[in-house]
Structure 1
Amino acid sequence: MEGVHLNSIKSNISNVNFEDFFCTNKDSLYKLCYNLCKNTPDCDDLFQETWLKTYRNFSSFKPDSNFRSWLFSICYNTYKDKYRKDKRWINIINDFLSSEDKEWVMDNICDKDMTPEEKVCLNDEKAILKEHLSHLKDKYRVPVIMFYFNNLQYKEISQILSIPVGTVKSRINKGKKLLKEKMEGCE
């Protein structure tokens, strides 16, 4: 981290400027949020909520820990909480609405269609890869995103997701295999 050395502030966490941490990590956090949410409005909400939680709990950060891992853990847990709430709404929709109403709600409220810009870029291999990535189950998609798009190490991903390093490696490997199969099926 430029200008901020976590090891030198072990006894002085209260004097550290939160803004330094924000400026250093905002781009990588936004990238993670976007890759998790797959759309800009949800990404912006997750990004803001993560920073609010981080700010509120900044005094509980352990200086000998990795700040980025701690920040990404907050982000991922916030994402999981939101996903659970969204899933509850989908269950309510399925239980209480007629077929026609369900179809309208799913098309208009739960719509995860790509933006026009993404549709234009779909011919680009990177866009195709991201499209296939978005269809992977979260247990494979999230570690792949963290490893390849956010350049996190296995150990950091393990800490963020609260799973063993071996599980991280196997999920990344399985995610790569699934992506490869999907990409080969496109040709």
Structure 2
Amino acid sequence: MLANEPLLAKDEYDREFEKALDMIYSIGLKLYRGNEDDASDFAQSVYVFALKQLGKFAGRSAFSTWLYRLAWNFGLEDLRRKKRFVTETIENFDIAAHEPETSFDEDEITELRQHIATLPDNYRIPLILLFFENMPYSEISEITGMKEGTLKANVHRAKHILRQKMEK
């Protein structure tokens, strides 16, 4: 196989991208504060960008994992480029459903969402991927490019910060 020759043909890429479209749209919603138009534009942009990057897919991971990481990085870079700040990233998540032993009232859920949205990216993103996307640290590491130990420390710090903010 020649260098930069894609492992997937265009029709295979289209099928795989179609399977991952909901996931990519969901990333767009998180990054663009629930704005459906921005999330839709994001998914279209990721399609074009990923197609151009297809020659870099080496097959060392699942295509969906590669695409997920590419989409997150593309979105974060887009936000940086536009100097936009994400203030509410998980508005559509049902936090109580992910914490069955803990019961939250609506005010607490709203407050927790607001606090999560204020966390720096290096705390917020691993927290979202771990608890709301149910990803293992190894996959989060691959997506974010952070070492697993750093991820665990960042999640621990994020939880500590959230506890402190919720106690106030």
Give TM-score, length-normalised by structure 1: 0.64
> Over residues 89-140 of structure 1, what are the superposed CA-to-partner deviations in whole Å (9 max), with x where a residue is unaligned?
x8xxxxxxxxxxxxxxxxxxx89689xx9xxxx9365444322211111110
Taking the aligned partners of 2:139 and 2:58, their CA distance within structure 1 comes to: 15
1:12 Cα offset (Å): 6.2
**CA contact 1:147–1:153 (8 Å) conserved in 2:** yes
List alignment gaps of at least 5 residues for structure 1. Answer: 1-10, 91-109
What residue is the counterpart of 1:157 in the other structure? Answer: 140
Taking the aligned partners of 1:27 and 1:179, their CA distance within structure 2 comes to: 29
Q: Does 1:13 find its partner at 2:8?
A: yes
1:48-59 paired onto structure 2 within 5 Å:
48-59=44-55
* CA-atom RMSD in angstroms: 3.2
Taking the aligned partners of 2:41 and 2:30, their CA distance within structure 1 comes to: 13
1:67 Cα offset (Å): 1.9
List alignment gaps of at least 5 residues for structure 2. Answer: 1-5, 93-104
Taking the aligned partners of 2:108 and 2:131, their CA distance within structure 1 comes to: 15
1:14-163 paired onto structure 2 within 5 Å:
14=9, 17-40=12-35, 41-87=37-83, 123=106, 125-163=108-146
Rg larger in 1 or in 2? 1
1:57 Cα offset (Å): 2.3
Q: What one-letter code is carried by the residue in structure 1 that aligns with 2:14?
A: E
**CA contact 2:141–2:147 (8 Å) conserved in 1:** yes
**CA contact 1:46–1:79 (8 Å) conserved in 2:** yes
Taking the aligned partners of 2:153 and 2:51, their CA distance within structure 1 comes to: 34
Q: Runs of 4+ in structure 1 displaced over 6 angstroms?
A: 110-114
Taking the aligned partners of 1:15 and 1:85, their CA distance within structure 2 comes to: 29
Q: What one-letter code is carried by the residue in structure 2 that aligns with 1:58?
A: L
Taking the aligned partners of 2:15 and 2:87, their CA distance within structure 1 comes to: 34
Taking the aligned partners of 1:184 and 1:66, their CA distance within structure 2 comes to: 41
